[in-house]
Amino acid sequence: MNHLILGGTGTVGGAIVRGLLAKGEKVRVLTRSEEKAKALPQNVTAVVGDLTDPLTYDKIFKGSDTMVLIIANSITETFEGLSALHEAKKNGYKKIVYISVHNPEIGMHVAHIGAKVGIEQAIKESGLPYTILQPNNFYQNDFWFKDVILQYSIYPQPIGDVGISRVDVRDIADAAVNALITDDHLNKTYALVGPDAWSGRSTAELFSKLMGKEIKYGGHDMDAWYEQWRQWIPVWMAYEFRIMYELFQTKGLKATPAQLKETETVVGHAPRRYEDFVKEFLGK
């Protein structure tokens, strides 16, 4: 089988690529950039193209048997996802693994979550064999905040007090690889979650314990968060992330025991603990 990874140069996609290569699988990776293409692992076939440009579709989709569909948060997310699905069907793909989001039904008012709900439904109605993976917030998102944590002793991600069952990207990759190279997970949807729910304050307390000094939680003020972050990321993205974090603060994103069991089934082992990730993050 020859696997096409859309989003294969990102955090999740890169982990999936490494997992497939470790299994001796053939991998093609889409990238918009010649520079990123040159940086891919030696055994990967790079495909330079763009899901917003249909003129590149023949080059992107011909020559593969399966597809991992990862669409970065963007204004064109629905177009890209549905177009990729259409091309996969046209080219006779044998399987699609789609990376969606945990409990999407509670966040359909958030643009990137609502887009994923529509893409999920289209995949289910396409007639193609599929596995849908629905991960929670990633442990590895903390790398965005590393300088703030280490230099200013603040944990700034405004995830609130209710709690979210964050997940390790490596577990997402394990699940995707298992779904691709076996037929054990066909036409199923799985939550991907960590073993515990974490709040902003409990996260700051964990960093404090492991660093031996006080790390404060940055708090829930989304007006201040929005004003700061729109200076660093596109304003549409800051707007959308604000709505997402407000959802976390009001409803949380906790896993049920059944969803934890789903995770263990598709990942093939107990999910990694956040405490262990933070130790790695800090070089402990």
Per-residue pLDDT at 254 exceeds 90: yes
- How confident is the model at residue 35, as a pLDDT? 86
Q: Do 214 and 208 contact (CB within 8 A), yes or no?
A: yes
Exposed (0-12), middle (13-18) or buried (19+): which is 203, by Cβ within 10 Å?
buried
Which pair of tokens denotes residue 114? 């609502």
Bridge partner residues of 99 (DSSP): 133
Q: Give the start-to-end residue ranges of the domains of the chain.
A: 2-135+169-192+256-269
State the distance between the two ends of the chain, measured CA to CA, in whole angstroms: 39
- How confident is the model at residue 284, as a pLDDT? 84
User: Can you tell me the distance from the alpha carbon of 101 to that of 79, in angstroms, rounded to the nearest whole number?
Assistant: 18
Please name the fold of domain 2-135+169-192+256-269.
Rossmann fold (3.40.50)
State pLDDT tens for residues 18-36.
999 999 999 999 999 888 8
More confident residue, 261 or 41: 261
Q: Do 3 and 45 contact (CB within 8 A), yes or no?
A: no
Looking at the chain, the whole-number percentage of residues with pLDDT higher than 90 is: 96
* R_g over Cα of the chain: 19
State pLDDT tens for residues 103-154.
999 999 999 999 999 999 999 999 999 999 999 999 999 999 999 999 999 9
Q: Do 99 and 69 contact (CB within 8 A), yes or no?
A: yes
User: Can you tell me the distance from the alpha carbon of 94 to that of 97, in angstroms, rounded to the nearest whole number?
Assistant: 10
- How confident is the model at residue 37, as a pLDDT? 85
State pLDDT tens for residues 61-98.
999 999 999 999 999 999 999 999 999 999 999 999 99
